[in-house]
Chains A and B, each alone.
Chain A
Amino acid sequence: MTTLSGARPAAPKPAERFPEIPPEKSADKVGDKPSIEVRQPDTTAALGLPLLGRPTGKTNRFNGKTGAQILMQMLVEHDVSDAFGYPGGAILPTFDQLYEKPLNFILVRHEQGAGHMADGYARATGKPGVVIVTSGPGATNTVTPLATAFMDSIPIIVFSGQVRTHVIGNDAFQEADVTGITRPITKRNYLVKNVNDLPRIINEAFLIATTGRPGPVLVDLPVDVTTSKVEGVIDDTPYLPGYRPKLAGHSKMIGHAAEMINAARKPMLYVGGGVLSSNAAAEVRALAEKGNIPCTTTLLGLGAFDENSPLSVHMLGMHGSAYANYAVQECDCLIAVGARFDDRVTGNLKMFAPKARIIHIDIDPTSISKNVKVDVPVVGDARMCLQEITQQIQRRDREEWFAQIRQWKERYPFTYKNDSALAKPQAVIEAINKVTAGKAVFTTGVGQHQMWAAQFIRWSVPRSMITSGGLGTMGYGLPAAIGAQVGRPGEMVIDIDGDASYIMTAMELATIRQYNLPVKVAILNNNFQGMVRQWQQLFYKGRFSHSEMFNPDFAAMAESFGIRGIRCEKPEDVLKCAREMVEHPGPCVVDFLCETAENVYPMVGTGKGLHEMELGVVGCTPPNSGREMGTLA
């Protein structure tokens, strides 16, 4: 019999190809459905690794499947319901599998957008974000999102195409050394060279991305790996002898921490993004309430502590509240949880929290005593450590301490003056806070608008503030909002953006339109890179070198994508436009024309201690008089 007609040759009998399978489970059953019998349960736990949520071990369920099929199957098994990306030559086998719609796939306009969407998705849902892109430029376009996610410890997994294994290193078309490029900005990356390794590597990727201190992982998939088939039984158990994230804190250190808190007269909680990654907001609240301890959050920690609580002193740091910064400098015991003493938080390290003994709870030992010498290090998961500490602490009165904080709060509230022809950007944020009652998922770009959003929205819900903190990635807001909207479809997602940040990734409006995502965008448009302008004004003698922007009519631009566009030109229309934005059922872009010369205050200048901040307008306001906040009524 010939096969010249194109008819497929009869497949060799599976029993001949896979002699290692025991006879009762072999032959015709192979490939039917996962044969759980062959798999050992909980091998990851037996190896001392955190649980993956599903058993691993020797299995024949991948028998006869291509790499691309295995990838899809395992994404579904890992509970991935959505992914973001862009096709291209080297990843086509995988995209061919996506044709069957095993999961909801969002086609983006630029791979950077895909990365930030996955990042926003991960921050909004707590699930890992998945990106699928092609080789070469497709993969290198994800470098900025990988670095963003790496700095902020966000679990995203990028699957990038790669040229065939035998041409790697030959400068093939669309080839780039992607594992080499991304090594310093991923928690772990892989170049898969054999399809038999793929299931194990995918398991490892999910395990590494989501456990310990979370972070991005990249898996590079050569075309011949996604097209070739697994034959027979393989082992998909993660093999990570050097990876043992520590979850429970050391009981002795926890005891020390509790003692120190009990003895403190002026303790202070300083809470970062780690609290959100470990879903420990309730535990922070329990500790603060039981011990009667004021709490400040970092930019990434916004939402981890209800800012409407009398215990909250809002955000600290370079543009944090004056009362939070004064309180940090005055406190005698600083309890840092899931935060890493970033320079934007501490100001001059030599002057940081001079009176405090410091307790630091973090899952990453390298964060401890990296910038600031810590007195009591507690390495472990924030949630578990906080629960134990809370059990051992006692309530203290601390009336004097709270009186002092109340006084600062009354004297130096976040404020601004409504005194310009154009809307004040802070007024726009206040209006948005008012019309949403702070109950929305917010994303931001980077710059002045980001700081004002942090200052003027009263954060109360975990995972409601999605912003690029560590890397400070302009253009993050819009794609992150798309990702958040995909992850939380029923909720309102608002991108508060600056004109310069927004236009960096504005082509993703087409993605919004294509999938009818009701994302709202509020642009604080001052025709400047506002924060750059502020620094040039304050530190470069007002020489505004290349910080002024020519902008299109953002409303008309949105309309051209088929998205509702609103232009808000007058201060008195701000509240109306904000309301129109949130009441519009579909996507909507509002271009708020804002005052250019406005600066963000308070501001801790470089090299200054937190207590040496420039108060600006915040310091000009006598208590309870002339304060312009709330005039929008």
Chain B
Amino acid sequence: MRSVLSALVMNEPGVLSHVAGMFSARGFNIDSLVVGRTEDPAFSRMTIIVNADERVLDQVRKQLAKIVTVVKVRDFKDLPFVERDLMLIKVATPPGRRGEINELVNIFRGRIVDVGLHTLMIEMSGEEEKLDAFIDMVRPYGIRELARTGVIAMPRGGATGNGEQEEVARSERQPLAKPGRAEPAAKREPTAEEMQAIPPG
């Protein structure tokens, strides 16, 4: 079963190696693993595609969450979500056939980003299957080079990959802020008992 996991991790050296090492050490197979920065420079997000049965997947989730530098793990299995893969592909363009390829690119909602004498570079994003389909379409022309980012994903609606709903997201996220910035407990007003306990003057 193909599963999409989203892991919020601390942005520091060694985390990727730890996660990748855990997968190989425990014999889990990753189809795709993408890391990128988030809106907070202290954290990165990993999107991991795993093909495994429910028992293995349960271990994958738990082992991921166990890594101290992994902050949150979310499995998108029960959520509607959007997933995207970005591809750059350089296709050989025999003289006179540029139009055909351009038509294909338009049908697949891609963009031509570079034109050479005998090649076209095309940018395309979408779900994996769509990109695979496009690759099959242009294969007869000759593929010179291909690069894909792997899948990133995000749940639809108010839910987030951190496992929260929109409303609670802010209060839940407070502990994530660097200590010193958040200053928990210090900001609130003292209670009546505390006021009495503090000797006046």
- Do these two chains interact? yes
Q: Which residues of A contact B (CB under 8 A)?
A: 40, 43, 46-48, 57-58, 179-180, 183-184, 187-189, 191, 208, 235, 237, 239-243, 364-366, 368-370
Q: Given contacts A40-B186, A240-B68, A369-B58, is CB(A180)–CB(B176) below 8 Å?
A: no
Q: Which of A179, A240, A368 contacts B14, CB < 8 Å? A: A179
Residue of A nearest to B64 (CB): A366
Residues B55 and A369 in contact, CB atoms below 8 Å apart: yes
Q: Which residue in B58, B72, B178, B184 is a CB contact (below 8 Å) of A242?
A: B72
Taking a contact as CB atoms under 8 Å apart, the answer to whether B175 and A58 are in contact is no
Contact B17 A364 (CB under 8 A): no
Among residues 1 to 59 in chain B, which have CB atoms less than 8 Å away from a CB atom of chain A?
8-10, 13-14, 17-18, 21-22, 25, 55, 58-59
CB contact between A47 and one of B9, B18, B69, B175 (< 8 Å): that residue: B175
- Known A-B contacts A365-B62, A366-B66; the reply to A241 vs B10 at CB < 8 A is yes
Chain B residues contacting A239 (CB-CB under 8 Å) are 178-179
**Minimum C-beta distance from A265 to chain B (A):** 29
Q: List 15 A-B contacts (CB under 8 A).
A: A48-B175, A180-B14, A184-B21, A235-B179, A237-B179, A240-B68, A241-B10, A241-B175, A242-B8, A242-B65, A364-B66, A365-B65, A365-B66, A366-B62, A368-B62
Q: Are B184 and A46 in contact, CB atoms less than 8 angstroms apart? A: yes
Given the complex, which residues of A lie within 8 Å of B62, measured CB to CB? Answer: 365-366, 368
Does B180 belong to the interface (CB within 8 Å)? yes
Known: A179-B14, A242-B72. A184 touches B22 (CB 8 A): yes
B69 contact set on A, CB distance < 8 A: 188, 242
User: Is the CB–CB distance between A241 and B186 below 8 Å?
Assistant: no
Q: Could you tell me the distance in whole angstroms from the C-beta of B103 to the nearest C-beta in chain A?
A: 49
Q: Which 10 A-B pairs have the closest CB atoms?
A: A242-B71, A237-B179, A366-B62, A46-B184, A188-B68, A241-B71, A241-B176, A235-B180, A365-B62, A46-B185
Chain A contacts for B179, CB-based, 8 A? 43, 47, 57, 235, 237, 239
A183 touches B17 (CB 8 A): yes
Q: Which of B61-113 contact A (CB under 8 A)?
A: 62-63, 65-72
Q: Is the CB–CB distance between A183 and B184 below 8 Å?
A: no
Q: Which residues of A contact B9 (CB under 8 A)?
A: 242
Minimum distance in angstroms from A218 CB to a CB of chain B: 12
Contact B180 A180 (CB under 8 A): no
CB pair B66 A183 closer than 8 Å:
no
| Chain A residues, CB < 8 A from B25 | 184
Q: Give the A-B contact count at a CB cut-off of 8 A.
A: 65
In the assembly, what is the distance between CA of A241 and CA of B71, in Å?
Answer: 6
A208 to B66: give the CA distance in the assembly, Å: 12
Chain B positions within 8 Å of A237 at CB level: 179-180
Residues of A within 8 A of B59 (CB): 366, 369-370
CA–CA, A187 and B70, complex, Å: 12
Q: Which residue of A lies closest to B58 (CB)?
A: A369
CA distance A241 to B7 in the complex (A): 13
Residue of chain B at shortest CB distance from A193: B13
Q: Report A-chain residues with C-beta under 8 Å of the C-beta of B68.
A: 187-188, 208, 240, 242-243
Residues of B within 8 A of A364 (CB): 66
Do the beta carbons of A180 and B17 come within 8 Å of each other? yes
Q: In the complex, A48 Cα to B171 Cα: how many Å?
A: 13
Assembly CA distance A235 to B181 (angstroms): 11
Which of B58, B62, B67 is packed against the most chain A CB atoms within 10 Å? B62
Interfacial chain B residues near A368, Cβ < 8 Å: 62
- A184 surroundings in chain B (CB, below 8 A): 18, 21-22, 25
Contact with A along B153-195 (1 / 0, CB 8 A): 0000000000000000000000110111000111000000000
Quick one: given A47-B175, A237-B180, are A242 and B70 in contact (CB under 8 Å)?
yes
Q: Nearest CB to that of B186 among chain A residues? A: A40
Q: Which residues of A contact B18 (CB under 8 A)?
A: 183-184
B51 smallest CB distance to A (angstroms): 19
CA A240 to CA B12, docked complex, whole Å: 13
Partner of B67, one of A48, A58, A242: A242
CB-defined contacts of B72 to chain A, threshold 8 Å: 242
Least distance between B121 CB and chain A CB atoms (Å): 35
Q: Of all chain B residues, which has the CB nearest A183?
A: B18
**Alpha-carbon gap, A183 to B66, bound state (A):** 14
